[in-house]
Amino acid sequence: MLREIDRYYFEKEEPVQGCLLALRSIILEHDPDISETRKWNMPCFTYRNKMFCFLWTMKKTEEPYILWVEGNYLKNKYLEKGDRSRMKILRIKPDKDIPVKIVRSLLEDTLNLYRNGNI
C-alpha cells in the first residue's frame, strides 16, 4: 500500500513522474538531515525540521519545479522569482536530463544558509 506522500508521485504521468522521483532522490540523498513530509498537499523537504524546498508542477504545463523557500537569499541565474515575495523556483524540463549539478549546488547553498544560522 502506498503512503500518501508516495501517491503524489505515482499519480503523475511519465515523463513527469520519473523526473519528480529522480528529484526526490537527489534531494533526500544530499544530506542525512533532510526529510520529506507533505505541506499544503505538496511534497515538502525539511532540514532539521525547517522547510527549505518543495516539489510541484506548473498548473498549465505540468512542468516540474523545485520551489526554494528562502529563494531570496539565493543568487543563481537559473532561479525565477516571478511575483513571489520570498521564494524562487527552478524549472525542470521532464523530457530533458535533470541539471543535477545545478540542483546539488542550490541544495548546498540553501543548506548552508541553515547551517550558518542565516535562516
pLDDT of 41 = 87
The Cα–Cα gap between 21 and 12 comes to: 10
Tell me whether the omega of the peptide bond preceding residue 15 falls within 30 degrees of 0, making it cis.
yes
58-108 pLDDT tens trace = 999 999 999 999 999 999 999 999 888 899 999 999 999 999 999 999 999
Strands 50-57 and 34-39: unpaired
Domains identified in the chain and CATH numbers? 4-115 (3.90.1150.200)
Model confidence over 25-60: pLDDT tens digits? Answer: 999 999 999 999 999 989 999 999 999 999 999 999
Closest CA to 107 of 48, 39, 53, 36: 53
Is it the case that residue 1 has pLDDT exceeding 80? no
- For residue 46, what pLDDT is reported? 97
